[in-house]
Structures are given as structure tokens and as C-alpha cells.
Amino acid sequence: MAIARFKALELAQSRPTVPVKIPTEKVTDYYGSNTFNDEVMRSLLSPEAYLKITNAIEDGKKIDREAADEVAAAMKSWALSKGVTHYTHWFQPLTGTTAEKHDAFFDITGKGKAVEKFKGSALVQQEPDASSFPNGGIRSTFEARGYTAWDPSSPAFIMENVAGTATLCIPSVFVSYTGEALDYKTPLLKSSELIDKAATKVMNEYFSREVSKVSASVGIEQEYFLVDEALYNARPDLMMSGRTVFGHSPAKGQQLEDHYFGSIPSRVNAFMVDFELEALKLGMPVRTRHNEVAPAQFEVAPTFEEANLACDHNALLMDLMNKVAAKHKMRVLFHEKPFSGINGSGKHNNWSLATDTGVNLLGPSTKPKENLRFLTFFVNTIKAVHDYADLLRASIATAGNEHRLGANEAPPAIVSIFIGTEMTRVLNDLENLSEMHDIKLEKGDNVYLRLGINKIPALLLDNTDRNRTSPFAFTGNKFEFRAVGSSANSAAPMTILNTIVANQLLQFREEVDVYLEKGIKKELAIVEVLKKYVKQSRKILFEGNGYSEEWAAEAAERGLSNLKTAPEALRKYLDKSAIDLFSKHGIFNEIEMHARYEIEIENYIKKIQIESRVVGDLAINHIVSTSLKYQTQLVDNVRGQKEIGIDPQYYAPTIEIIKKISIYTAKINNLVDEMTEARKEANNVEDTAERARLYSTKVKNYLEEIRYCVDKLELIVDDDEWPLPKYRELLLIR
């Protein structure tokens, strides 16, 4: 009997729901209580220091040494009062997880006495050894220095550790000794500044002088799977690669559509309540929880926040979920496709632009003037996505997402935009407007009426259609970038989106200004440029089924890219147009672009390499060995039947099973050998792009072929002997 599997099953089934201590106070009383927030700063800092730090938060102004010392002292006393013993610069290196190195607050004086110490200099900058973080060839190991620097715009927070201790975490950027970014946050901050400048200029010149800041906001829906810890531990593939490399689909998967929004199982509910509680204390506005489409799949969604904060919070939330799940004897799977054949997990990024005067620039309005503003930002976003679709595709390209894209409500690899029937009609009307110079305005004429812009209906959110096969969908007052994978750091795609839209807005201004210089009325000039953009961007708009073969053919005809594999997509980072765009705006220099490409491509190779090794090991040690043992039992059985004179027609089917086992096990043995050879061949290739190509084609194909044989054996071999928890067992979470 497959002892480990059945033990795990028994354990999983007998687990009690872990009780959660619910605070007696209201959420509003403890929301953000573990953050060094505005209220805390106001109460602990001198008015001068408070002003300096708020300027730094809002306008990115530098903080002088004196103020930094004061903030550090305040942070320290606040943290100590909450039982914190250590502090760390908390950053997001390009590994995809968060990093922290804890230092104690106490120091030893010359006389050997312990004193509490935390200076402004330690708050502002730290110098971790950077040599073990991915750098894409920027630094050689002998020049290992890297710096982390405090990002005052994201509040410091207290992370409670399982052992009952707590650490003060200071959100930071991470750069190399020579100044290149080695993290996700640095370019995101730069892109936020860029889009602020570009959008504010457009607002000030054409729509409102009052606006002094525009921020990109993001609401990040996080999908994930939960698996019982014992079952997880009995699946080496989950442990090592984050996904199941084998597993026959269960008789009942998601086909009855009875899980989505269904009642949440009690253990899961306790887990959700528990991590949300911690998240709320950390100032994360988590508001929504529900069952997702696939069995054992769930979602958590906070309301939107400023992009940098939203991305920090999402990275922190994932970390928190992992920690809290351990308490509940569960594991969170953030992989994009942990189970084949059912829904994968995305991280839908709901992106918009908001002014400091409280206006959502992607929100349509009933007022004609405001609608022209809405159309300006709406159409410019479409144009940006049209022009730089490949970069958006590159920004979500990973080994995990490659498994997800193209099926089960995840978008395909072709980037297109869905805007719904209402907005399609509005853009059609806009495009069909007569030439601007044909519009003769009489004195007292209403320009909006003449342009037909007054007619845009206020779109009701509920009215907007949904299209789950679209990678980039307008959902009434924001764009939802659905293609982002569930394990991704959102800062990467958001950096790209901010940059391309900012670049587009700057271009828009130049084009409108040409008309203005000719003395043409502002509204007409704006409409004329938007009209042109709609015409130019037509091919990216698609309302139909993104999975259909017709769409792939039509997209090709339209000239849209269909970058099926991650290596093909990542290569777009090295196009001249991409390097020019990012260096022009100071987001990435050429060295950084190459480094990011190298890191992503290496990561891709390593992931497939790990999967391939896991497949090889499991197939031989677990599957083939078990199958052959079972086959021997069948052979003995047939021999016995023969011996006692049973009519051969009755054991002929058993002989068929014996033959099938021989066929599949032999095939697996051969395929595993060939796959190992393919890996060797790929590993010998110096050029990373070519190596990645070999992994994404040759090596990866073997994974599927081997899986096919293993899944067939799963249907034949005695259930009592099957070593790996089956899909129906893994997916049954209570």
C-alpha cells in the first residue's frame, strides 16, 4: 500500500479548523495599527520633521540628515513600545520574493554595555551583500556591494514572527554599487513619477489648472490554490516546482461550476479571516474573498491604492499568506497553473489614473467636458497598448504563466483590448466625426454638441460586459490587465504600463500643440488627435473569443504578435524601440534592460530544468517502479488462472493491462533518457536565448509526453499502490 499517500489523506481529512482570535474592536480601530502611519508620525515627530517627511512622501523630496535622525528615533521608540526587537530594510530583489536581513536595535558600547540604537543613517541606507541576488551580469562577484535605500512613500511596518518576536520592516529600493536597479521597486517609482508628470501636464494644459499630481492606482486581485500540508508534502512536484507535473483529471473537476462563489469551506474561511486580520493591521485594504472557479481555488482582493503601495502590499500579502497558511496546516499555491485541465491563477491588475483633486481619469461622466477628458485618457491608453503590446506581453512572460495563458478563463498570448459594446460605439462615432476643419463653429455654438461628445452615456459599472478571454479589458472606470500571472511581482507589468502610457501622453501633447499653434480651438484639436489614434489603434481592439482559432488567424492578418513562449516574448525587451523608450525616460538604461532580460531568461531556463528533473525522478522512482510491481502481481495472477485451467478468454483483458503497463513504462523509460539528453544538449549551449529556446521547445515537449503515459498508468494501476495523492484528493479542501 502507498503508505505515505494514505497517511497524508487521513491526516488531511481529520484536521480540525484552527480557531482564529477575532479582535473585539472594530476594523477601523486596528486598521494600520502595525504601520508607522500618518497618525503615528504626527504624534511622535516635531512639526518640522513631520512636514519634511510628508513632503518626501507626497513629492519625493529628499530628507535631510537631521530629519532622518528624528524619524529614526521616533520609529525606534514606536517599534520598541510594540515589542519589536529587530529592524530590516525590506526589499524586492529580482528573485520574485521579498528579502529581509534583520538587525537588532541594540548595540554594545565601548564599555560592553548594551544600548538601544537606530540612527537616521541606518534608516536611510543599508549595505547588504548583493552577490547572491540575481543581477543579470551587472556586477562581478568581487564587487558585491549593493545598497538598499528607504522609500518613505511606503510606510514602515511591523511584521510579527511566528516565534512571538517582531521586526520593523522598512520598505526600500535595492541598487547596485554602480547605481543600477536590482529590484522591482526602483523602476516602478521612476515610472510613477513619469506618468505623474505626463498626465499632470495634459490635465493642466487642457482640462484643469488645479491638478498638481496624477497617480497611477492599482487594485490587485490575487488568485491562489490551497492544499493541505500533508498532501502537499506527499507531492514532491508541488514542493519543488510549485505545480503538479502528473495527475489525471478527476471525474468531477470544475465542470458543474459549483465552486465559484460557493460557500467557503470552514478551514479555508478560518485561514482567510486570519491572514486578512494581519493584513488589515498592516494597512492593506483587503475587502473581498471568495471561492474561485476551480476546486480548491480562491481569491482575495483589496481596494485599489497608489501603484507603489499596492505592489508593496501585494508582495507582503503573499508573504503573509504563506506564513498564516502554515499555522492552518495548509500551503498556498501561487503558481499560475498548479493543476492541468482546470483554471489557473491570475493576478488581475486593475489600473487607473487618479488626480490629487479626486478625479478618476478613466471614469466616464455625464458632463461633456469631463467626457472629453475621459476620452483623452481612454484613447491614449489604447494607443499606448497598441504601440507597445509586445512589451506588455514581455512583462508577464514567465515559465509558470506560459502554462496558464490560452485556456480556462486566462487570456491568450495575443495582446488585445476589450472595451465592450458601449465604448465600441463611442469610438466608432468618434472616428466617423467629420474632419475638424469641416466643423464650422458659430458664435455661441456648443462645441461638444457639435462634436457629438455630449452623447457619451454615463456607463454604469454593472452594464459593462465581461470578456474573460481578453488580456486587457476596460471594466467601466479602469483597465484590467488580466494576463499578469498569480506569482508575479506586479511592479514589473505596472512599470511597463505606466511608462508606455506616459510616453503616449507626452506625444499626445506635442501633437495637440501643433494644432493649437495653428490657432485651432483646443477641443477640436484634441478630438482630431484622438480620432487619428482610434484609426491607428483599431487592430488592437477585439471583442470576440480570444481562444478561437479564427482569432489567432485574424490577429495574424491584423499584424498582431502571437508570442507563444516566454523566451520569444522576453526577447522584445532587447528591441531597439524598447531600449530607446526606457532610456529616453530614464526608467531603465541599456545595461539594466539587458540585465532584466538575462535574469528573466535564466529564471525561465531554471524553472523548466527543475520541472524536467522532477518529472524524470518521479516518473522512474515512483511511477515506473510502482507500475512494474503491480504488473508482477497481474502476471502472477494470470499464471495462476492458467494453472487452474481457467478459460483464457477470461484473463485475456488482464493480459491487455499487463501489455499496456509494459508499453507505457517502456515509453517512459525511453522518454526520460531522451529528455536528459535534450537537457544536456541545451546546457552545453552558451547563448542564453538559444538555450531558453531549446528548453521551451525540446525539453518542455518531453514533459507533456511523459505526463501522458503517467496519467494513463494512473488509470490502470491499483489505487492502493499509487504513490502520489491524486487530483481528486489534492483538490478536496475542507
Ligand X SMILES: NC(=O)CC[C@H](N)C(=O)O
Q: Which residue number, 403 or 531, has a Cβ lying nearer to ligand X?
A: 403
Nearest to residue 663, comparing CAs of 700, 702, 624?
A: 624
**Which residue minimizes CB distance to ligand X?**
346
Residue with cell 472595451: 419
Q: Which residue number, 346 or 476, has a Cβ lying nearer to ligand X?
A: 346
Site map 187..226 versus ligand X, x via CB under 6 A: ------------------------------------x---
Residue 288 CB, shortest distance to ligand X, in Å, is 12
Interface with ligand X (CB under 6 A), residue total 12
Q: Which residue number, 363 or 485, has a Cβ lying nearer to ligand X?
A: 485
Amino acid type, 356: D
Residue 159 β-bridge partners: 167
DSSP state of 362: T
Residue with cell 468618434: 430
| Region from 339-347, 558-566, 644-652, 706-714 binding ligand X, contact rule CB under 6 A | 339-347
Rule CB under 6 A: which of 455-474 touch ligand X?
468
Q: Measured in whole angstroms, how far is the alpha carbon of residue 68 from the centre of its chain?
A: 33
Q: Measured in whole angstroms, how far is the alpha carbon of residue 322 from the centre of its chain?
A: 16
Residue 442 CB, shortest distance to ligand X, in Å, is 50
Residue 483 CB, shortest distance to ligand X, in Å, is 8
What's the grid cell of residue 77?
A: 521608540
Question: Dihedrals φ, ψ of 662, to 5°?
Answer: -60, -45
- Phi/psi-derived region of residue 408, left when phi > 0, alpha when psi is between -120 and 50, beta in every other case: left
Residue 238 CB, shortest distance to ligand X, in Å, is 18
How far is residue 105's CA from residue 487's CA, in Å, rounded to a whole number? 33
Residue 482 makes contact with ligand X by CB under 6 A:
yes
Q: Can you say whether the dihedral through the CA atoms of 70, 74, 79, 83 is positive or negative?
A: positive
Q: Which residue number, 302 or 346, has a Cβ lying nearer to ligand X?
A: 346
Report the residue from 344, 363, 471, 493 that binds ligand X according to the rule CB under 6 A: 344
Nearest to residue 485, comparing CAs of 496, 471, 495?
A: 471
Q: Which residue number, 249 or 676, has a Cβ lying nearer to ligand X?
A: 249
Q: Which residue number, 223 or 714, has a Cβ lying nearer to ligand X?
A: 223
Residue 464 CB, shortest distance to ligand X, in Å, is 14
Q: Can you say whether the dihedral through the CA atoms of 484, 487, 493, 494 is positive or negative?
A: positive
Residue 298 CB, shortest distance to ligand X, in Å, is 11
Question: Dihedrals φ, ψ of 205, to 5°?
Answer: -80, -30
| Region from 240-248, 403-411, 538-546, 581-589 binding ligand X, contact rule CB under 6 A | 403-411
Residue 485 CB, shortest distance to ligand X, in Å, is 8
Report the residue from 328, 404, 531, 571 that binds ligand X according to the rule CB under 6 A: 404
Residue 396 makes contact with ligand X by CB under 6 A:
no
Report the b/e string of 487-512 with b at 16+ CB within 10 A. Answer: bbbbbbbbbbbbbbbbbbbbbbbebb
Distances (CA, A) of 254 to 41, 221, 251, 257, 339: 49, 21, 10, 5, 12
Cβ-based neighbour number of residue 684 at 10 Å: 9
Residue 410 CB, shortest distance to ligand X, in Å, is 3
Residue 378 β-bridge partners: none
Rule CB under 6 A: which of 658-687 touch ligand X?
none
- Nearest-Å Rg of the Cα atoms of the chain is 29
| Region from 29-37, 243-251, 269-277, 342-350 binding ligand X, contact rule CB under 6 A | 342-350
Rule CB under 6 A: which of 410-439 touch ligand X?
410
How far is residue 470's CA from residue 348's CA, in Å, rounded to a whole number? 11
| Region from 167-175, 344-352, 380-388, 534-542 binding ligand X, contact rule CB under 6 A | 344-352
Residue 402 makes contact with ligand X by CB under 6 A:
no
| Region from 148-156, 163-171, 196-204, 404-412 binding ligand X, contact rule CB under 6 A | 404-412
Q: Which residue number, 368 or 400, has a Cβ lying nearer to ligand X?
A: 400
How far is residue 362's CA from residue 355's CA, in Å, rounded to a whole number? 11
Residue 85 CB, shortest distance to ligand X, in Å, is 41
Residue 274 CB, shortest distance to ligand X, in Å, is 23
Residue 293 makes contact with ligand X by CB under 6 A:
yes
Residue 116 β-bridge partners: 106
| Region from 13-21, 171-179, 338-346, 612-620 binding ligand X, contact rule CB under 6 A | 338-346
Rule CB under 6 A: which of 142-171 touch ligand X?
none
Residue 163 CB, shortest distance to ligand X, in Å, is 35
How far is residue 136's CA from residue 595's CA, in Å, rounded to a whole number? 4
Q: Which residue number, 128 or 346, has a Cβ lying nearer to ligand X?
A: 346
Q: Which residue number, 259 or 383, has a Cβ lying nearer to ligand X?
A: 259
Q: Which residue number, 430 or 488, has a Cβ lying nearer to ligand X?
A: 488
Q: What angle do CA 277, 282, 287 make, to 5 degrees?
A: 50
Cβ-based neighbour number of residue 287 at 10 Å: 12
How far is residue 87's CA from residue 65's CA, in Å, rounded to a whole number? 19
Q: Which residue number, 193 or 409, has a Cβ lying nearer to ligand X?
A: 409
Residue 78 CB, shortest distance to ligand X, in Å, is 40
DSSP state of 457: P
Residue 468 CB, shortest distance to ligand X, in Å, is 5
Report the residue from 338, 346, 412, 616 that binds ligand X according to the rule CB under 6 A: 346
Report the residue from 217, 345, 416, 495 that binds ligand X according to the rule CB under 6 A: 345
DSSP one-letter string for 161-174: PTTS-EEEEEEEEE
Query: Pairing state of beta strands 472-474 and 417-418?
Result: parallel
How far is residue 54's CA from residue 616's CA, in Å, rounded to a whole number? 56
Report the residue from 319, 356, 409, 617 that binds ligand X according to the rule CB under 6 A: 409
Residue 244 CB, shortest distance to ligand X, in Å, is 16
Answer for the pair 486, 346: CB distance below 8 angstroms, yes or no: yes
Q: Which residue number, 406 or 452, has a Cβ lying nearer to ligand X?
A: 406
Report the residue from 135, 241, 343, 352 that binds ligand X according to the rule CB under 6 A: 343
Rule CB under 6 A: which of 618-647 touch ligand X?
none
Answer for the pair 137, 598: CB distance below 8 angstroms, yes or no: yes
Residue 159 CB, shortest distance to ligand X, in Å, is 29
| Region from 340-348, 413-421, 566-574, 594-602 binding ligand X, contact rule CB under 6 A | 340-348
Residue 543 CB, shortest distance to ligand X, in Å, is 17
Residue 480 makes contact with ligand X by CB under 6 A:
no
The 3 state secondary structure assigned to 303-330 is CCEEHHHHHHHHHHHHHHHHHHHHHCCE
SS3 call for 411 = coil
| H or E, element range at 226 | strand 214-228
What's the grid cell of residue 358?
A: 479626486
Interface with ligand X (CB under 6 A): 223, 292-293, 343-346, 404, 409-410, 468, 482
